[in-house]
Amino acid sequence: MIEVEVHNLLRNFLKSQGETPWPHHLTMARLVARALRLGRNALIQTGIPPSHSDHPYRFSYWIPLLVWHQPAIVVAPDGILDELQGLNFSEWINPETLNHPDLIADKPIARGDRWPDDNFQGVLLTTPPAWLSARLRGKKAFPQQVLTLIDGADDLEGWTRQTLTVSLHPQDWNHLMQYQPEQAETIRDARVQLTRVLFQHPPNPYQCYVLDSPEQEIIEQLYSVLKLNSDLMLAQWQRFWQRWQLTDQLKWAVVDRILGTFSLFCGPVDVASELSPIWPQQPVVLIGGALDLDKTAPIFRQSLGLGEMTGVKFTPDRQSQLIQLYIPSGLPLPNTPQFQVSLIKEIYTILCMSLSVQRLSVLLIGDVPLKAQVSTAMAAEFGSRVQVETTNLPENGVLVTGWEFWRQHQGDLPSPYLLAIATLPIPSLEDPLVAGQVAYYKQRHLDWFRFYLLPTALSELQRAVATVRDSQGVVALFDSRVLHRSYGEQVLTALSPSARINYLDTLWLGQ
């Protein structure tokens, strides 16, 4: 069986490499091999952020794909695809030990946004936009019933929403007036009205606004006079109108107050209904870092319209990946006026106590104004060591960053010794897009905190601390809701294994 072949091959390779830091290679490889043989869906949580470049866990699924005698598809961001293309096993693969030596020796590997040809029996590497666009829009770029492995499934919901969202930008209005000159005045008037109404909204840190009834009426009135069936109707405007008319769509605008311009967006609130028809078209293996607290990932699967599937969740090793977790007691709650002063004082103290450690420290702050205040205060004390959202850092640098930047770049930075988290990454209801999704859950009488806000926060939190485990570093969490809210235990579970204290230990910080 392929499981036996893969197990022996990978075991021999790991022996040739000496000590390997990840203990789950063989288990993961057997699970992927089983999915290939039986054509069954599988879901694997590695505990490693997908952005972690050159992590050896990818050997565990790449080898089964090479050994398998049928074609397969790998869907992943370009960085991961580059890494896979760079893996060369010809030097240590011994075809004589395999049942299919002719296949493993010359397994073709292609990369592109469509299937090479009907006779292709290799592994096709493609990006999430290419694969999702083809599947969601009914294109025949990829054959059905070919096992598809998706690496980086943590971002699958976001990829899907991005693929399905249609937008109109300032230049699209100019193009429309050029193609329908007889309606130029009507188009110009609609844009002026929208500009006036949108800029009446009070500024917010996100610079975006869900479209209310006045804005929607302006857009719908404009479309009522446009030549929708004419050759003069631009494709982008047609796609926007088609998406607009669907139910359960989130409609919003992003404004640029400096330039006085805006862009319109329309995309699905819930992607499960969009994705559920595509899963029966092929067996899938989903690989992510932290998809759910449960190994079967029920909330994650529900959000993506996935049915039952074999699930495995690799937990960090307590001996080699234990983090030191500092959660001080007595701190004000994040929504109180006293929180900012207390937070700055705590961060200053913990940085002073770790001055002897010549390694990276990270201050993770989601609130934009608070991030600016903390970075200013720390720069005044620690000078040029403090940098905001950059990868060009000194050895003992202090990086002040939001969640999105850290998610994208943590795999490219040294493992931090200290990760200080100001507040839990619970999506803010002040973000109009978050508020729009919460309203969708409320309309269906669903527990929007349990099914949306909390799972999002826990997944983000697990991904954020993953690289700290490589150095068995210190995580300081200054959000006292962990101690006073019912969901605090779930947060602590997401951060396990950890050694937790509520005081600053010089033995932790001075090593």
Domain 323-509 has CATH 3.40.50.300: yes
pLDDT 10s digits, 191-232:
999 999 999 999 988 899 999 999 999 999 999 988 665 555
- pLDDT over 50 at 103, yes or no: no
What are the structural domain ranges in the chain? 2-163+271-313, 164-268, 323-509
Distances in whole angstroms, Cα of residue 405 to Cα of each of 127, 391, 413, 438: 21, 10, 12, 24
Region of 305 on the Ramachandran plot (φ > 0 left; ψ -120 to 50 alpha; else beta)? left
pTM of this structure: 0.90
Average pLDDT over residues 56-68: 90
- pLDDT over 80 at 282, yes or no: yes
What integer pLDDT is reported at residue 475 of this predicted model?
96
Q: How far is CA 112 from the centre of its chain?
A: 22
Amino acid at 46: T
- pLDDT over 60 at 182, yes or no: yes
What integer pLDDT is reported at residue 88 of this predicted model?
63
Residues 6+ apart with CB under 8 A from 178: none
- Range with the poorest average pLDDT among 88-92, 398-402, 429-433, 481-485: 88-92
- pLDDT over 50 at 439, yes or no: yes
- Beta-sheet strands, E only, within 260-317: 261-268, 284-288, 310-313
CATH architecture of 2-163+271-313: 3-Layer(aba) Sandwich (3.40)
Bigger pLDDT: 505 vs 372: 372
Helix axes 184-198, 213-225, angle to 10 degrees: 170
pLDDT 10s digits, 321-377:
899 999 999 899 999 999 999 999 999 999 999 888 889 999 999 998 899 999 999
Domains 2-163+271-313 and 323-509 share a fold: yes
Cα–Cα distance measured from residue 418 to residue 465, given in angstroms and rounded to the nearest whole number: 10
Amino acid at 133: S
Q: For residue 113, what pLDDT band results from cuts at 50, 70 and 90?
A: very high
List phi, psi (to 5°) of 253.
-130, 145
Average pLDDT over residues 414-431: 94
- Transcribe 415-460 into DSSP letters: PPSEEEESS--PPPTTSHHHHHHHHHHHHTT--HIIIIIHHHHHHH
205, 433 Cβ separation under 8 angstroms: no
Element (H, E) at 209: strand 208-210
42, 31 Cβ separation under 8 angstroms: yes
